[in-house]
Structures are given as structure tokens and as C-alpha cells.
Structure 1
Amino acid sequence: MFGSKVLLKLMTRFFRGLRHRRRNRYPLVVPRRRHRWFKWLTPGLFVKRWLLLSVGGVLLVGLGTLITLKLTPIFYTVQLLGATLRVITSVIPNFVSGPLAILCGLLLILWGQTRTLGAMSNVLMPGNEEDLVDVLYAQRRLSRGPKIVVLGGGTGLSNLLRGLKHYSSNITAIVTVADDGGSSGRLRREIGVLPPGDIRSCLAALADEEKLLTELFQYRFRAGNGLVGHSFGNLFLTAMNEITGDLEQAIAASSKVLAVRGQVLPSTLSDVRLWVELSDGRRIEGESNIADARGRIVQIGCSPVDPPALPRALKAIQEADYIIIGPGSLYTSIIPNLLVPDIVNAIAEQAVPRIYVCNIMTEPGETDNFAVSDHIRALDQACRRPLFDAVLVQKKPPSLHVTAHYAKEGSVPVELDREAILESGRRIVIANVMEENLNGTIRHHPYRLARMLLRWYSRAK
């Protein structure tokens, strides 16, 4: 009963929030409000041409009507117009009446267009204070952005998507479905669905109402039989999966409901289970058990072997202008996508900029004592070929407070070994894209990372 009340409260808050969209929805692409009228002159809005076409149509209708009536009304109309103008100019000089008529006409046009656009805005965007031209400008600019494919999973991928969506709406996030722990693992075992956790995070990151949706989708129930530990987003996707019949359709339907910019796709629809072999000879099965094994990974694979790729994921890669791998857990978020041979082959065949975003810190149980070149070597080994041209590395090291916090968990900053990286044939992109939190944790800053990646793309393409 308590769980149902919480669920109802969250849904009420969610739909109420959708009716009151924030003004900063397009913070990086919307021009300033005081230039509102000049915005309509911006090329590419596809509005001015249709307004002019409509005006031309009205004039043609009037002309056609007069012609149909055997031209007689044209003569009388011209005569009446000429007499009226002579009376007006005799009272008010033409150098005053002419500009005054022009000014009145322009004011009437502006007033009419303002009211028309205002009515359209109230219908299309009820409760939204943004100008329609701002929304059109932002959407047109985003739609002209590069076609970006990002591979990964976990917090790293959703964090990057949160920044990229302000530069392009042509984003495809290809996500691993190898998770078998937590809420996703329970749903996978009890209901038989593919784990929705990473997909949930990416959908929330790409949604227009990101803050509200993230809070809603990440909410975990603390009471209720069978609800404890489950996140709302996982249950939402599971329900959509049952309604639509498969995860791909469930994600597509959810994307429409959440107004997602871009698309989120699983790398495969197969029920993939990870396994690794450690340097001490142990074989560990299950994504959630790999980090707990605390050993050096020498080989990684999955069962079933060579799972088929999702056709839409392959199509997105083939049409991509830019491919980004990472950031995220190397062996449990990134490499699982690359265990799908069709995806590796599709990426290798693309002659577009391809970059790997390296983690800032090592991960205990996965990348202990790894340098940047070790990450590259692990990816090359899993793919059996070089798959990217450059690697992005954090420039400034974390503060002493942060390193001390991570040292307690056995994590240290990833070492930048330049010579080994250059020997692998990769270019090095160094930038300050790190954000330190008050609790001593760090992450890639969404906007700085996205801005740096787009800047490198513009130079590399």
C-alpha cells in the first residue's frame, strides 16, 4: 500500500512538471530574448518562406476573382483607390501620409503575426514561457548537428549524453545489456527481461525534462512487497517491454513519451552473460561478480558467443559522422558492447573520427594500476584490431583531497604514459574535463567534455 502511494505521488509530480517546462531547456543554443524579431530572419527556420507563400496565395485568389468577373471590378477598384488617395494627399501631404500608411501596415502585420504565433504557442506548448522562435531555432540547430554514436554504459555514458544533447539531436547511445546485479538483475532473473538499468539512465539523460526525469527514474522504493530496491525507471521499462513485446519497441515508445533527443539502443537483444579469466586461473561468470573477484583480467568473453547485433544499432554506426567510445567501466560497460562482432566490424569500416574517452581513476577489481595504454591494449585485445584514432585524457590531476578519498578504495589516477600511447598509433587529446564534488568524488563534467569532443571532431573530420 505504501509503495503504491509513493508511486502515485511520483507520477503526479512527473506529469505536473511536464506542463511547466523550464526556461533554460536549451541553455547553449537559444539566442537572447531581446532579439526576438530578428530571430525570425534567421535562415533555416522554414517559417518565412511559407508565410510569404501564403501572402502570395491570398493575392492570387483576389486577382483570380477579379479576372473571373471580366476585369470590370479592377477598373472601378483602381478608380476608387485613386480618388481616395487624392483626397488623403490633399488633406495630409504625401511625404507624411505615405510613410504613415507604411508604418500602420507594418504594425498591423506585426500585431497579427504576434497574435497568430502566440495562439500557436499556447496550443503547441501550453504553460511554456519560451518563445516559439526560440524552440524552432534550437530544434533546427540541433537537428543539423552531427550524427554521433556513443558506446558504453553506466554513469559515464549517461553523463556524457547529458552534455552532448545540447549540440546535436542526432545521437545514438548503444548500451550494454550484460548487467546482472541490483534491480536490473532481479528483473532479469524473475521476469526474463533484458536488464534495463543502463538504458534507463541514458533515456533520463537525453530527455528534455532531465532533472525531473532523473529524479523519478532513479527513485528506489524503500517499502512494499516486491518493490524494495527496485528503481521506478526499471519498472517503467519492464512494463513497456510487456506491453510492446520486446525491449527495442519498449525503448522507442518510452523515448516518445519522454521527448528524448536522439535514441537509445541495446547492442544486442540476446541474453548475454559475461565471463572473465583472471591471471591466477580463476574463471568468473556474471558482470556483478567481476569487480568483487579482485584479480587481474587476462581475457573476457560472453555467452552466447558472438551475439547478433541489433540491426538499428548497425545502421546508426553506418550513418555516423562521429563515434565515441566511453567513458565507463572498461570491462563491464564498454567492452561488453564490443563482444558483438557485427558492431566491431561496422565501427572498423567507418572512415569517420573515432575517439576513446579514458577514465580518470582506476577501478578496483577491473583496472588496478592501469595506465592509459593499458586501457587501449585491453580494447584492442577484445576487438582484435585497433578501433579508434585518438584517446581523450584528463589534463589536470585530481586534488589531494580527492586522491585521498579514492585511495581508501584502492583507486588511483590513471597514468598518462605518452610514449606507449603514441606507439599504439593513437593521437592524444588532453583537456580539463573533470569535475570534483564536495563529497570527494569526481566525474567527467558533462558540458566541458561534450564541448571538447565536438571541438576535436570539427578539427578531425
Structure 2
Amino acid sequence: MLINPFRRALRKSVRAYPKTVNAVKNRTPAGLNHLFKWMLPGLSVKRWLLISAFGVLFTSLGLAIWLDLTPVSRLMMLTRDFLRWITTVIPSHISGPLAIAFGLTLILWGQNRTFGAITDVLNPHGEEELVDMLHTRRRLNKGPKIVAIGGGTGLSTLLRGLKKYSGNITAVVTVADDGGSSGRLRREIGVLPPGDIRNCLAAFADEEKLLTELFQYRFKAGDGLMGHSFGNLFLTAMSEITGDLEQAVVASSKVLAIKGCVLPATLSDVKLWAKMADGRFVEGESRIPQAGGRIVDFGCYPHNPPALPAAVAALEKADFIIMGPGSLYTSVIPNLLVPEIRQAIANSSAPRIYVCNIMTQPGETDGYTVADHVKAIDRVCGEKLFDAVLVHQRSPSETALRRYSLEHSHPVYLDREEVAKLRRRAVLANIMDEDPDTGYVRHNHEKLAGLLIRWFSKAAGIQSKMAQSEIN
């Protein structure tokens, strides 16, 4: 008779647990709040402290047995006489609890000072408590294995938001850039273009703002240095030291304490080409958007470049695969021109989503709808690579629309029926930031990442239920 009420009370307590945690955080003093955090599950600290206590107990017991209890028994008798004397001065019902309280105080004080000393070493500036660092690290380490595919500023924006939800993120980046500083280094030194990789490394860093400013810094003077970014020169030097771009990125990640993993899609010297509707044939990543016109065919030299094995392995192990946002033909699709990359995506059972751009891009996607973006990827890959497409819902302001119209750019129109015919699900959300001064619009990295994680959780839950129903 008592079992059901007990179960109901237990379920009620479990449901109320998060609210209790928040209430304690909001209402308790800082010291008690700090102690309460150590009691929360998931840190894997309390169990080891308990094991240490048992270790002290058994060590003492073993020492007593080894010494045949002779000196130990005398010490126990002395302790017994002392305790009897204490109880004659202070009654046992008072002295007992006092001694227990004093002992617990010493234990907690000692442990607190121990963890404080560790915190001073790991975080000398005192910006974050050790318990908070452990909670964050545990949560990120348990996060889903995410692979984000793309290039340019769109991919780095996505990574900036995703790194708050998981520490198991791999960015697969295009290496087809041939303009600006990257293009110069590619022509003069023969290294693969480091620009997009540089942006992703900066997005992953803890000191993101400072590292981004450092990596984006461009020399304004100097024979041969002018126009080059520091980040490109850094990665180029690392490539020369380590032997190739893959090892350079690994070494740079260690030097900069990068949490995620950045991988080039291929180590081949890839050159993009596009065939226009008017018959023109344009070569070079930087020349394609400048050529104008509608792209009807797209590819690269060498044909079918080999994939980086680590990138394929990351896709095979991925729990969640994201493509975009970014320039359709010069940032997203170049990764899919690598056969092993697109085959790994097609074979994956993980939820897969494409993040569509907010605005059309002159020279690449003039007049493109959402379905046109999907068709372009399907046409190049020859198969369905993703299940859903994420589309920004709200239109930019009139000021932004006028600003973009001067550049012949317009919001990407969602043609729902065409997207449905392509067997894709359209996911609508408001994930845009608008600069009030310039009128430019960008994806908000926090909103974008939060929505993608929620969609993944829902999609993964549905897949799990379907798999369970098939087993049953």
C-alpha cells in the first residue's frame, strides 16, 4: 500500500530537482551555493573522495593488525579514558554532536582549500570556480559528435555557437580559396589556402575575440607583407615546419588550446570551375562570383580529389551533420566535390541538415529560392545528402533590403511546395542579426546553434523510437 505513494513522491522529487537547484543558486549565500554545486551529480569527484576515506580507514585497520594491536590498543584505551573525562565535563548528547560538527568542518575546510589550490593553478585569474569548470567540461565532453561542413565566415559563425553545446565538434573546411592573402600564399609558396581554416581555429578558441583580431590582422606596410593576414602567415609557417596543412592545423590547435577539430576536406591543390548559362567557362574560386550569370555546371580540378581520411572518419562517427551556412558554390559545394566526403554523408544514419543563406549572393545564387539551393547540391552530388533545410523566417528591415538591393541581393524565398517535392523538411526560425549601422544581416551564432541542437535532439529522439519499434 505504501509503495505507490512512495513512487509518486520520488517522481515528484526528481521532477522538482532542476527547480530546486535554481532556487538554491538564487537564494543561498555564495559559500553554501559553492558547496551545493559540489553535491550535484555528474562531477565524478564525490565517489573518489569517499573511496579515499575508505582507504584511510582500511590503512588504519591494516596498521593495527600488522602491529598486533599492542600500541594501538594502548592508544585506544587512552582515547577511551579521555572521552570519558570529556563526558563528565560536557554531557554526551552535547559533546558528541559538537565533535561531529567540528570534524565535518575540518573535512570541508580542508577539501575546500585543496580544491582552491587546484583552481589557483588551473585558473590563476580566478575567472571561474573549479566546480564550474568541471561541470562545463563534463557537459561538453558528453555532447554529441557534430561535423560541420563549409567554409568562409558562415562556418566560423556556426562553430562559435556550437562550441557552447559540445566539445566533440569537427569542422570540415574547403581548401579551394584562391583570392586575397590565401591566394597569394598559394601561388607564391605552394601551400593550401589557410584562410577558412584560420577563421575556424579562431572561432574555436577560448579567447576568441583576441585571437580573431590577431589572426585577422593584416599588415599595412612592408615589402611582401602588405595585405597578408597574420593568421595565414602563422598557418603557412606551421605547414612548412610540420610538412602539410593537416599536421599544421593539429599543431596549431595544441599551441592555441583549441577545443574542436578543424580538418581540410582534401590535401589536393583544388581549383574550381563553373560553366555559365551563356556558355562561358570560368576557372578559379574568386573569379566565379565576379563572372556574373547563372551557373549550370560546377566542378573542380583535379576531378574526384582524395579525401582526408580523418575527415571521412569524423563523418562516419558523427551523431549530427550540418552543411552551411556559407557561399553555396564556393564554400559548401567544394567539400562535396570530394567523392569520399559526400559518400560518407550519404551513408550516415545521423540527422543531417543544410543551413540556407538568408540573402542571395550576387554572381552565385542570383534569384535562387530555397529549393534552388537544394537542387544545386543534389545536382552536383547526384543523391540526397540531407534531410532538412533550415530557413530564416522573418524578413530583414526596409533599410537592410534597400542596402542589399543596391548589390542586387534579395532574401532567399522559401518555396515550400518545391522543397516538399524534393523530400526535404523546411525548418523555419528567426536566427538573424542585423547591423543597424551597415544594414548587413548575419546569422546569430547563439540562436542558430541553439535551434540546431534542439532540432537534433528531437530528430535523434524520433530515430531512436523508430529503431526501438523495429526491434520490438
What's the TM-score once normalised by structure 2's chain length?
A: 0.90
Q: Distance in 1 between matches of 2:255 and 2:41?
A: 30
Aligned to 1:452: 451
**Equivalent residue for 2:430, pick from 397, 421, 432:** 432
Which amino acid counterpart does residue 216 of structure 1 have in structure 2?
A: L
**Deviation of the 1:294 alpha carbon:** 0.5
Which amino acid counterpart does residue 319 of structure 1 have in structure 2?
A: K
**Deviation of the 1:317 alpha carbon:** 0.3
Aligned to 2:412: 414
Q: Distance in 2 between matches of 1:254 and 1:348?
A: 31
1:46-445 equivalences in 2 (<5 Å): 46-438=44-436, 439-445=438-444
**Deviation of the 1:125 alpha carbon:** 2.3
Which amino acid counterpart does residue 363 of structure 2 have in structure 1?
A: G
1:286-334 Cα shifts (integer Å, max 9, x gaps): 0000000001000110000000000000010000000000000000000
Q: Distance in 2 between matches of 1:102 and 1:223?
A: 71
**Deviation of the 1:115 alpha carbon:** 1.3
**Deviation of the 1:375 alpha carbon:** 0.1
**Deviation of the 1:119 alpha carbon:** 1.3
Q: Distance in 2 between matches of 1:58 and 1:99?
A: 22
**Deviation of the 1:420 alpha carbon:** 0.3
Q: Distance in 1 between matches of 2:71 and 2:422?
A: 83
Q: Which runs of 5+ in 2 are unaligned?
A: 1-24, 461-472
Q: Distance in 1 between matches of 2:189 and 2:277?
A: 35
Q: Distance in 2 between matches of 1:227 and 1:66?
A: 74
Aligned to 1:21: none
Relative contact order, higher structure (CA 8 A, sep 6+): 1
Which amino acid counterpart does residue 132 of structure 1 have in structure 2?
A: L
Q: Distance in 2 between matches of 1:413 and 1:129?
A: 42
**Deviation of the 1:81 alpha carbon:** 2.1
Q: Distance in 2 between matches of 1:81 and 1:427?
A: 75
1:353-401 Cα shifts (integer Å, max 9, x gaps): 0000000000000000000000000000111001000000001111111
Q: Distance in 1 between matches of 2:428 and 2:418?
A: 15
Identity score, percent: 64
Tell me whether 64-73 or 280-289 shows the greater mean CA deviation: 64-73
Tell me whether 170-179 or 53-62 shows the greater mean CA deviation: 53-62
**Deviation of the 1:103 alpha carbon:** 1.2
Q: Distance in 2 between matches of 1:228 and 1:50?
A: 56
Which amino acid counterpart does residue 341 of structure 2 have in structure 1?
A: I
Aligned to 2:3: none
1:29-85 Cα shifts (integer Å, max 9, x gaps): xx8893211111222212222222222222222221111111223422332222111
| 2:43 pairs with 1:41 | no
Which amino acid counterpart does residue 191 of structure 1 have in structure 2?
A: I
Q: Distance in 1 between matches of 2:368 and 2:294?
A: 10
Q: Distance in 2 between matches of 1:247 and 1:56?
A: 51
Which amino acid counterpart does residue 409 of structure 2 have in structure 1?
A: S
Tell me whether 58-67 or 347-356 shows the greater mean CA deviation: 58-67
Q: Distance in 1 between matches of 2:267 and 2:36?
A: 49
CA RMSD, 1 decimal: 1.2
Report SS of the residue matched to 1:288: coil
Which amino acid counterpart does residue 348 of structure 2 have in structure 1?
A: Q
Q: Distance in 1 between matches of 2:409 and 2:453?
A: 29
Q: Distance in 2 between matches of 1:173 and 1:36?
A: 36
Q: Distance in 2 between matches of 1:164 and 1:365?
A: 30
Q: Distance in 1 between matches of 2:380 and 2:98?
A: 75
**Deviation of the 1:95 alpha carbon:** 1.8
Which amino acid counterpart does residue 423 of structure 1 have in structure 2?
A: K
1:241-280 Cα shifts (integer Å, max 9, x gaps): 1111111111011111212121000000000000000001
Q: Distance in 1 between matches of 2:101 and 2:365?
A: 71
Q: Distance in 2 between matches of 1:176 and 1:70?
A: 73
**Deviation of the 1:460 alpha carbon:** 0.5
Tell me whether 195-204 or 51-60 shows the greater mean CA deviation: 51-60
**Deviation of the 1:159 alpha carbon:** 0.3
Report SS of the residue matched to 1:359: coil
Which amino acid counterpart does residue 88 of structure 2 have in structure 1?
A: S
Which amino acid counterpart does residue 297 of structure 1 have in structure 2?
A: I
What's the TM-score once normalised by structure 1's chain length?
A: 0.92
CA gap of 1:128–1:243, structure 2 versus 1, over 3 A, is: farther
Q: Distance in 1 between matches of 2:104 and 2:42?
A: 23
Report SS of the residue matched to 2:287: helix
1:213-254 Cα shifts (integer Å, max 9, x gaps): 111111111011111111111111111111111111110111
Report SS of the residue matched to 1:265: strand
Q: Distance in 1 between matches of 2:396 and 2:125?
A: 43
